[in-house]
A and B are shown apart, each in its own frame.
Chain A
């Protein structure tokens, strides 16, 4: 029998859920609101919530002072490129782990994931030197490679979980039907795993878009993405909260909109395998 919930209880739960949602969303909301305030209103105490002089001045200042489109374009290339490269490498890797596992497969997966536990700053110095030696410093190629490497364990792990759900007999049927390994992956495995691959791509674009440690440390002017664009507004001459907020809003808007439209796919991706 389904558990019955009283209407009061249901209302309380709804209110609680909304409350928690608002608390989580509040910093983003506050950033967006602050971006429409004057610098004076932005630091006013007590803080002004909705009743202030709304202005678009910060946005025009930010747009005048820096080339938003260039940063945006760098972000798109770095996030998209690193994810695409990662998926191209991860699909065959996850295929072999899911369908022709060896006795080391589980250990390899754990080892790959364990690299995510290493603090990034621990390898900053060697990475920086390698980047200088290879001439990759402040290049989009360099960032595509480094972000791909950072997110590769997650991509492989997610795809592995999806592929594990695909019955092996279907791939065997393809083999019996004369499919080569390439045909098997291209015509049978990939189409069946499209929902999984899509949510993996989405999640990794978001991770790469928001990555700030490497993007800040390995770029200067040419390859800097939107994270560097935001950071450039926390200047040593003092913080300009309203302009910083406008820059932040502009930086997070594309990914926020993308996340909003694909939330169904994302939730499925993140909870996949949790319940069966």
Chain B
């Protein structure tokens, strides 16, 4: 079991409110991703749940039991850190067995569990090595191994893939998702990378300045962002946010249109000149300086051949325009 309930959780450092007050329920078995820009409080929130930071107010319950004042070790949570945080003087085996040793588990049983975890994570051949002799991906796997042997109520991941190179990051991302599918244990994952959030999460929590902006499934956030912040943060390339007369035509203070929802047409629409054209093969990313609505990002098909200086006409796909009021909130 691993249901985590936050009620009015606050954190302040001195006079600064990092988290002014958060209510959130994470259901048992869910994969929840906290996402937001640097300094939005997502790591702090994770550390509050872990017990590595004390709350300034509110309560944290794990499976209905108040855990607000429990030390980290008593919360039945396991954490994987960005820096891996392996014990450099211990072998891989000893690293993985450390939490079991601390729990006072009998050595035979602990060894059996460590071996099983190593098998799942393809670490069997590296059990006697020290962390210094492993690659980044292997180290991260050891950190995950150390977390899974405990059979915790929930896993906490604090930007675990940030130190890996791009290719490895995609691999590890898939491995973690598969791990979640097989273990079915609650996972809370912190990242600033919205691609990770979109691909891994059952539920995304978008944070900004310590506040929750929106909670929902990846597609809910993509299709129906509640405000301009979420609209601009979720999706890559970023949604185009347009104000002024063009927005007024739609009865809104701001309208949003995703780059992939703009068609390159022969005539009509917004006229503009291509500033930057990035050909990725499958897609072409265009940055177009238009006369009416300023700079617009466009995601066109790979077959579109446009170069710097070409004139284009852009037409938003019908029904794909998001409308926002003067307060930034969605007008639905």
Contacts and interface: CB of A to CB of B under 8 A. Distances in A.
Contacts of A53: none
Interface in B105-162: 146, 150
Interface stretch (A33-41, A174-182, A229-237, A264-272): A174-182
B98 A177 contact: yes
Interface string A107-146: 0000000000000000000000000000000000000000
A187 to B, nearest CB: 8
A170 B131 CA distance: 13
Nearest to B82: A169
A26 B81 CA distance: 55
A147 B79 CA distance: 44
B89 interface: yes
A15 interface: no
Contacts of B87: 170, 173-174, 188, 192
B245 interface: no
A167 B88 CA distance: 11
A180 to B, nearest CB: 8
Interface residues of A, number: 17
A188 B79 CA distance: 17
A191 interface: yes
Nearest to A172: B52
A170 B85 contact: yes
Given A176-B79, A179-B102, A169 B73 contact: no
Contact of A172 (B81, B89, B98): B81
B85 A175 contact: no
B209 to A, nearest CB: 25
A187 B100 CA distance: 14
B103 interface: yes
Contacts, number: 58
A173 B81 contact: yes
Contacts of A180: 73, 102
Quick one: which of A172, A173, A180, A192 has the most chain B CB within 10 A? A173
Given A169-B83, A183-B102, A176 B72 contact: yes
A170 B102 CA distance: 15
Contacts of A173: 79, 81, 85-87, 146
Contact of A175 (B73, B88, B89, B150): B73
Contacts of A170: 85-88
B83 A177 contact: no
B35 to A, nearest CB: 21
Contacts of B81: 169, 172-173
B71 interface: yes
A178 B72 CA distance: 7
B96 to A, nearest CB: 10
Nearest to A171: B85
B85 A167 contact: yes
B77 interface: yes
Given A172-B52, A173-B79, A178 B85 contact: no
Interface in B66-83: 71-73, 77-79, 81-83
Given A178-B102, A178-B103, A172 B85 contact: yes
A183 B99 CA distance: 11
B4 to A, nearest CB: 15
Contacts of A167: 83, 85
B-side interface size class: 20 to 34
A176 B50 contact: yes
A175 B71 contact: yes
Contacts of A174: 87, 98
Nearest to A188: B87
A172 B77 CA distance: 13
Contact of B52 (A175, A178, A188): A175
Quick one: which of B73, B77, B81, B86 has the most chain A CB within 10 A? B73
A178 B73 CA distance: 4
Contacts of A187: 98
A175 B79 CA distance: 10
A177 B99 CA distance: 5
Contacts of A172: 52, 72, 79, 81, 85
Given A176-B52, A177-B99, A177-B102, A191 B89 contact: yes
Nearest to B104: A178
Nearest to B71: A175
Nearest to A177: B99
Quick one: which of A176, A178, A192 has the most chain B CB within 10 A? A176
CB-based closest 9 A-B pairs = A178-B102, A173-B85, A177-B99, A178-B73, A169-B85, A191-B89, A176-B79, A175-B72, A170-B85
Given A176-B79, A177-B146, 12 more contacts: A167-B85, A170-B86, A172-B85, A173-B85, A173-B87, A174-B87, A175-B72, A176-B50, A176-B72, A176-B73, A178-B99, A188-B87
25 contacts: A167-B85, A169-B81, A169-B82, A170-B85, A170-B86, A170-B87, A173-B81, A173-B87, A173-B146, A176-B52, A176-B72, A176-B73, A176-B77, A177-B73, A177-B78, A177-B102, A177-B146, A178-B73, A178-B99, A178-B102, A179-B73, A179-B102, A188-B87, A191-B89, A192-B89
